[in-house]
Structure 1
């Protein structure tokens, strides 16, 4: 529904997110169609994928950054809740952090 807009949607959360084409497209649609969006959260804690180690976490982050870069509106931010607590990426533990913040 490319013509449909969600004018009042301020926060959205996709639970069980993993970087499959359909879920990446869903996230992109929300970013484009929710004109009042303040925050989209991708929750990967409850993903049923196997092998939730550091390599999977880095793979998720790389796909999310690649797919959503330039798509987050200036009024919104994109948060990610990691696949497991204690996974270190860059210089922080991946539990919850902002990948893109168009408001800065």
Structure 2
């Protein structure tokens, strides 16, 4: 089952900051949700300089992505996009495709932050003794997403782009393999 992403009606010529949040607490998103379709929002905002995508859910059921060709959307350029933050970066193929698209078509990109675990597995702070408890399944997904960054994203990051990848807390959720 595939869910349609709404098409943006018209353009937002002066919009500079766009934040999109997906929250699902019980059943999660459709495993084949097409994150690449969010490019239509970037296209509708030609002055956009900051894009934030936040994906938060208790469980993720994405099919394992074991390589193969990534889809590309040609003819889309995001000339003013400087800052991109993806919280809840996951191992879905379409999430990798969206991130690759941004790297290849945002000519002014200065900073890309990928947070595979969102705040759920981020690290402990000085005031707490441990991270918020999460399922083993979500820790596994965060590790898979981190692996996707290493395998499919790192090689595409231009030297002019500051890349930050937030790793799951090794103190609470074990070392990354």
TM-score bucket of the superposed structures, by smaller chain: 0.5 to 0.7
> Which whole-Å CA distance do the structure 1 matches of 2:89 and 2:163 have between them?
13
Question: 2:161 aligned to 68, 76, 82, which one?
Answer: 76
What residue is the counterpart of 1:99 in the other structure? none
Does the alignment pair 1:28 with 2:113?
no
Partner SS, residue 155 of structure 2: coil
Asked which structure has the greater CA Rg, the reply is 2
| Structure 1 portions without partners, runs of 5+ | 91-104
- Counterpart position of 1:100: none
Q: Distance in 1 between matches of 2:92 and 2:135?
A: 14
3-state SS, counterpart of residue 25 of structure 1: helix
* Number of aligned positions between the proteins: 88
Check 1:58–1:16 CA distance in 2 against 1; reply closer, same or farther (3 A cut). Answer: closer
Give the Cα separation in 1 of the matches to 2:167 and 2:154.
18
Alignment partner, residue 41 of structure 1: 113
CA contact (8 A) 1:45 1:82 kept: no
Q: Which runs of 5+ in 2 are unaligned?
A: 1-72, 121-133
TM-score (norm 2): 0.42
Q: String of CA shifts for 1:15-69, please: whole Å, max 9, x gaps.
A: 321111000000000101100101111123157x95233x544332222100113
What is the Cα deviation at residue 81 of structure 1?
2.7
* C-alpha RMSD over aligned residues: 2.6
Partner of 1:94: none
- SS of equivalent residue, structure 1 residue 69: helix
| In structure 1, distance between residues paired with 2:143 and 2:88 | 17
Higher strand share: 1
